Amino acid sequence: MGGKIFSAAGLGLAFLFTRSQTALSAWDPSEASASGLPDASIYEIITNILDWLLTIVGVVGVIGFVIAGLMYLTAAGEDKKIETAKKAMTNSIIGVIVAICGVVVLRAVDTMLNAGYLF
């Protein structure tokens, strides 16, 4: 039983390898923009992804702060709800600070690696 699985897996890998070699030999890099793929460098793609992720973290932190503020307003004097709202506010502020620090660190490292000036 184990030999059949390995032989099937080997045949599958051989098929995939031959198909990928055929696909790579027919690929023309100058047609990359026509295929809908980004024509940016890997560095630019990773930078854009990190920018999007940090933006999402910042937006989620602000939304969390707004929700915590609403929780605080609707606590109606209950100590447990007030403490929960305060912890949620603290955590969302920490999230926004981490997102801002992430942006600052990424920009500083990017500037240093590109031999630019920080300020």
The predicted structure's pLDDT at residue 117: 61
Handedness of CA 97, 99, 105, 108 (dihedral sign): negative
Per-residue pLDDT of the chain (119 residues; tens, 9 = 90+): 545 555 666 656 555 555 555 555 665 666 656 666 667 777 778 778 888 888 888 788 889 989 999 999 999 889 999 999 999 999 988 888 888 888 888 778 878 877 666 55
Q: Is 17 exposed, middle or buried (0-12, 13-18, 19+ CB in 10 A)?
A: exposed
What lies within 8 Å, CB to CB, of 102 at 6+ separation is: 50, 54, 57
The predicted structure's pLDDT at residue 9: 60
Cα–Cα distance between 88 and 65 in angstroms, integer?
A: 7
49-78 in b/e burial notation, b at 16+ Cβ within 10 A?
eeeeebeebbeebeebbeebeebeeebeee
Q: What is the token pair recorded at 8?
A: 């099937």
In this prediction the pTM is 0.56
The predicted structure's pLDDT at residue 27: 59
Handedness of CA 97, 103, 106, 107 (dihedral sign): negative
Residue 76 CA from chain centroid, whole number:
38
Residue 89: Cβ within 10 Å count: 18
Domain ranges of the chain: 41-119
